[in-house]
Amino acid sequence: MQHFMTLLVNYTTRSDVAGFLWLVAGVLLLAGELATPGLFVFIAFAGGCALASASAFYQYSLVAQCLCLGAGTLISFIILRRLFAARVALHDAPTNVYALTGARALVTKSIKPGKRGYVQVMGEQWCARSVDESTFEKGTVVHVLRVVGNGLIIERK
List of long-range contacts for 120-125, beta carbons under 8 Å, 24+ apart: 121/152
**The pLDDT of residue 85:** 81
Q: What is the pTM of this model?
A: 0.53
Mean pLDDT throughout 124-149? 92
- Residue 120: which residues within 8 A CB-CB, separation 6 or more? 105, 106, 108, 126
Tell me the pLDDT tens digit for each residue of 29-55.
Answer: 999 998 888 778 899 999 999 999 999
pLDDT band at 111 (very low <50, low <70, confident <90, very high): very high
**The pLDDT of residue 55:** 93
Tell me the pLDDT tens digit for each residue of 3-34.
Answer: 655 655 555 556 678 888 999 999 999 999 98
- Going along the chain from its start, the domains and CATH numbers come out as 2-90 (no CATH), 97-156 (2.40.50.140)
Mean pLDDT throughout 109-131? 92
Mean pLDDT throughout 125-153? 92
**The pLDDT of residue 72:** 96
Counted residue by residue, the chain has a size of: 157
